[in-house]
Amino acid sequence: MKWRYRILIGVGVIAGALWLNNTSLLVDTSANETRLLSHRGVHQTYHRENLENDTCTAERIYPVEHPYMENTIPSMRAAFEAGADVVELDVHLTRDRQFAVFHDWTINCRTPGHGVTEELTMWELSLLDVGYGYTADGGQTFPLRGTGAGLIPTLTEVFEAFPEGRFLVNYKSNRMQEGEELVALLTEHPEWRANVFGVYGGSAPTNRVRRADLGIPGYDRQSLLDCLLPYLGLGWTGYVPEACRDGIVAVPQNLGWLLWGWPHRFTERMKSVGTEVFIVGPFEGDFTVGIDDAAALSAVPENFDGYIWTNKIEVIGPLLAAR
């Protein structure tokens, strides 16, 4: 019988050591800071039923409650005023080698024009009304039509408008040239380096920026897998995989419990290797579902030391400030 007791004691010791090494109860969270990342600024949100990559989201918005449209300078200003620490924006490198801040691969959905965004010049894009295609009633009315003329900015214009602002740059293509151009832009204008919180999206441009001597973190789907899968296997020891270092990790709200040390021990480990952690909404096939209402915010751990990804900064900003 003694060997059974020894096995039980051994199992208990191992379990206790695992608990001690991974519990968040023993982490000092008094200095932690929960910050906000506003996806696309203050913008018109939409229902996600049967959503695909080429779905025109402007044709499925909810009833309009404010005048702002994604990726415009007014929407970014409103996001910062609502409490955003970082604003996410989308870029395309135009035919005349400028970064247009615009989400869609084509201009067909939101504007009265037609064509592929990256094949147009910035001058052509600047003439468009980005509020043209928005409708909440299947095309019976277009409440924002005529209000978005000339609102597609360049990335340079964004940096100039918000010298203290911080932005997460989303590459909508996988062209290496886009990474090269951002490196060149920031090398020529080092004063804008601090504006770039990080990069993500297309692997080729994202990794080109990460390899540059600029200290800009980033992530793509592969880097998330390369970081989190080994961590799932070895994180119980406190080991942080090399792929997790100096980067960004996005964690879906419904999957955080799988990570050793979640939440506070995990974020502590990531910060120790120079990596920021985003908590996003429940995983639904992508990582752009946000923490968008009071119920979702209530499920975010108290004193979470990282960024909350939200599509509704105008809602979550005040709620977090009052929390």
Answer whether residue 284 shows pLDDT above 80.
no
Domain presence at residue 18: no
| Domain's final residue, options 214, 229, 254 | 214
Domain that holds residue 147: 43-214
The residue among 158, 50, 55 whose CA lies nearest residue 99 is 158
How many helices and strands, by DSSP H and E, does the chain display? Answer: 10, 9
Residue 48 confidence (pLDDT): 86
Residue 34 confidence (pLDDT): 97
Inter-CA distances, 241 with 118, 147, 204, 284, Å: 36, 48, 22, 26
pLDDT digits (tens, 9 = 90+) for 134-182: 999 999 999 999 999 999 999 999 999 999 999 999 999 999 999 999 9
Q: Beta-strand (E) ranges in 266-312?
A: 276-280, 307-310
Domain presence at residue 235: yes
Average pLDDT, integer, range 259-276: 97
Pairing status of strand 307-310 against strand 35-39: parallel
Question: What is the domain-level CATH number for residue 114?
Answer: 3.20.20.190
Confidence of residue 11 (pLDDT cuts 50, 70, 90): low
Residue 264 near residue 24 (C-beta atoms within 8 A): yes
Is residue 174 domain-shared with residue 81, that is, in the same domain? yes
Between CA 286 and CA 57 the distance in angstroms is: 16
Is residue 144 domain-shared with residue 271, that is, in the same domain? no
Structurally, how many domains does the chain consist of? Answer: 2
Residue 235: both structure tokens together: 């994180």
Is residue 208 domain-shared with residue 300, that is, in the same domain? no
Is residue 177 domain-shared with residue 47, that is, in the same domain? yes
| Domain's final residue, options 193, 214, 235 | 214
Is residue 209 domain-shared with residue 96, that is, in the same domain? yes
User: pTM for the full model?
Assistant: 0.94
